Amino acid sequence: MLNYSRALVLILFIALAWRAWLLAANAVPFNSDEAVVGLMARHILQGRWPIFFYGQAYMGSLDATLVAGVFAVLGESVAAIRLVQVILYLLYIVSVWALARAWFVAPRVAPLAAGLAALPPVLISTYTTVSLGGYVESIFLGNLILLFGWRLIFGGQQHHRPLWLGLGLVGGLAFWTLGVAVIYLLPVAFWGLWRWRLRLWREYGLALVMFFIASSPWWLSNLWQENAALLTLLGWAEGGAGETITIGPLERALGLVGLGLPVLFGLRPPWSAEYFSWPIVAGGLTVFCGVIAWGLVSVRRGQALMAPGAGALLSAFFIVFVGLFIGTHFGRDATGRYFLPLFVVIILMVAAWIDALWRRRAALGIGGLALALAVNVSGTVLAAESPEKLTTQFDPVTRWDNAHDAELIDFLRRNNLTRGYSNYWVVFRLAFLSHEELQYSAALPYKPDRYTPADNRYPPYPQAVALSPQVAYITTFNPSLDEALRRNFAALRIAFDEQVIGPYRVFFNLSRRVAPEELPFPLLPQVTP
């Protein structure tokens, strides 16, 4: 009989090797979102601990705090940031294993699910290799919420008070880290109250106390900032994640089905609406149809495949996810990151389908597993070798790798261009890679027709630029902005030089200092806040 514990160790080694290959191949570009996490970690070590991701009233700084711990040991680097994500994803695989062992009657489902998580589709490989502020923590803690909740509600451990404290702890951390935690918390709360009513009020109290302690940064910030965190969570804040919903429920439902499911099954990369080649699509559709057919047959036959209550909790989780995606502002973003919580449902169902094939005939199970993994691996390899690589950027104007970063930094240092103006995707990348020697203001647009002052997420940088007697302007893939700058400099009789370094265009050696707000002509045809 297969030793499933040894299988888990082997699976974790495979997952680690896969991540090592992605990183060694430079398949995942480093960008400003990840740089902000690194800068927050740097500032934490300097004694400045932010509650949320810079410039936002959501996404707690748990990820940056973990990165700061690694920085303290290994020093500041992109590799150190990525190491935290690798460790977190290995823990996520363990949590998937634990859920499958607890929920499914067949013991083989656990190693199958963990194996599918170890070699995931390109969506998961992308968003769990880079740090965007807390997404890997969110899905890991979310799995623990489901596991602890099931044990307390259906697993006969309703009087296990340390487990109630654990549920409150992981629930509070998850809620502070990212509001998507409600997708995990609501099903647990519903089934807990449905089954036990108020008979366990003492245990509920323990969990709630620990929840509020663990999520206290969120509540304190909300108190200090006039309910900014709450308004953002509800989608009522101005700008950012809280913009007015302009996409109706039907469009959001179509986004879930037309964009979400294909990317979760590895049929396309999250940054493109184009599908992979037909063999990958055919393989992914075969897996999808196989899972649906198996599920319908299992329900019709009334097969007891899961432990008591597991199916009810998993179904409630899925229903809450779909309801919140279609009915709230989260459904405006069908890019991929908000589909991450649904991945656990997909791999558990695919693993159970493969196990069903295996029980009929080993060759069928092995074939099903090989097909699912082939879809995931081939799609990820194709994406990694594409010009875009594994990117979190959806607009081509913000999509470039790090091939010219060192050259740009060297040029700016040699010419003493440590202050100036650029766009968000340049400013924070340069700041982190230069250990904040280069401090620029994100006062320029990165799109030809759009800019928001919220891009200046860290006020000390524009403050430092305002005090500098010499500035440079750096643009990227924005010819209309380049021409607007030349026109403004000419109107002000300012002499300047230009230097192109890969995707970067540097305007420097200005004959006098000038800030964007002093330019006589607008830099955009129409500024859209």
Whether 130 and 261 share a structural domain: yes
For residues 251 and 327, state if they share a domain. Answer: yes
- At 120 the three-state DSSP class reads coil
C-alpha 95/C-alpha 92 separation (Å) is 5
Query: Is residue 50 in some structural domain?
Result: yes
Those residues whose C-beta lies under 8 Å from the C-beta of residue 140, and which sit 6 or more positions away, are: 88, 89, 91, 92, 95
One domain, residues 239 and 274: yes
Answer yes or no: is 48 within a domain. Answer: yes
> Residue 345 — pLDDT band, cuts 50, 70, 90?
very high
Inform me whether the pLDDT recorded for 527 exceeds 70. Answer: no
Confidence of residue 230 (pLDDT cuts 50, 70, 90): confident
Question: What does the alpha-carbon distance between residue 447 and residue 445 come to, in Å, rounded to a whole number?
Answer: 5
Final residue of a structural domain among 349, 384, 419: 384
C-alpha distances out from residue 20 to 97, 130, 270, 378, Å: 22, 13, 21, 17
Q: How many other CB atoms are found less than 10 A from the CB of residue 9?
A: 10
Residues 378 and 431 in one domain: no
| CB 94, CB 118: distance < 8 Å | no
Tokens describing residue 205: 């109290």
pLDDT score recorded for residue 526:
52
Q: H-type helices in 439-478, by residue range? A: 460-466
Those residues whose C-beta lies under 8 Å from the C-beta of residue 102, and which sit 6 or more positions away, are 147, 150, 151, 155, 307, 310
CA dist 308 and 159 (Å) reads 18
Q: Which long-range contacts (CB under 8 A, 24 or more apart) does 197-203 make?
A: 200/158, 200/159, 203/152, 203/158, 203/159, 203/161, 203/164
Q: Are residues 403 and 376 in the same domain?
A: no
Distance CA 529, CA 524 (A): 12
What's the token pair of residue 79? 């590799």
Whether 242 shows a pLDDT value over 70: the answer reads no
Q: Classify residue 124 as exposed, middle or buried by CB count within 10 Å of its CB (0-12, 13-18, 19+).
A: buried
- Identify the residue with better confidence: 227 or 461: 461
* Total number of domains in the chain: 2
Does a structural domain hold residue 390?
A: no
* pLDDT of 33 higher than 60: yes
Residues 119 and 167 in one domain: yes
Residue 391 within a domain: no
Residues 365 and 474 in one domain: no
CA 389 to chain CA mean position, Å: 16
Average pLDDT of span 306-323: 94
For 39, the enclosing helix (H) or strand (E) is: helix 32-45
91 and 203 both lie in a single domain: yes
Which residues have CB under 8 Å from 2's CB, separation 6+? 108, 111
- Say if 284 falls within a structural domain: yes
Whether 362 and 498 share a structural domain: no
In a domain, 525, yes or no: no
**Do the domain assignments include residue 274?**
yes
Q: How confident is the model at residue 303 (pLDDT cuts 50, 70, 90)?
A: low
In this structure, are 124 and 265 located in the same domain?
Answer: yes
Are 376 and 405 found together in one domain?
Answer: no
Q: Which of 384, 407, 423 is the last residue of a domain?
A: 384
Residue 504: φ, ψ to 5°: -95, 140
343-360 vs 310-327: helix crossing angle, rounded to 10: 140
What would the two tokens of residue 403 be? Answer: 């091939």
Is the pLDDT reported for residue 244 higher than 60? no
Candidates 394, 398, 379; CA nearest to 478 is 398
Split at pLDDT 50, 70, 90, the class of 276 is very high
pLDDT at 216: 96
Res 298: pLDDT:
82
Closest residue by Cα to residue 371 from 295, 274, 271, 265: 265
Across all residues in the chain, what is the average pLDDT? 92
Whether residue 159 sits in one domain with residue 38: yes
Strand segments, DSSP code E, in 119-186 are: none
Query: Which domain, by its residues, includes 505?
Result: 398-518
Listing DSSP states for 299-335 in one string gives HHHT---B-TTHHHHHHHHHHHHHHHHHHSGGGG--S
Last residue of a domain, one of 340, 361, 384: 384
- pLDDT > 70 in the chain, percent: 96
Query: How far is the first Cα of the chain from the last one, in angstroms, to the nearest whole number?
Result: 62
Residue 2's pLDDT is 54
* 414 occurs within a structural domain: yes
pLDDT for res 4: 72
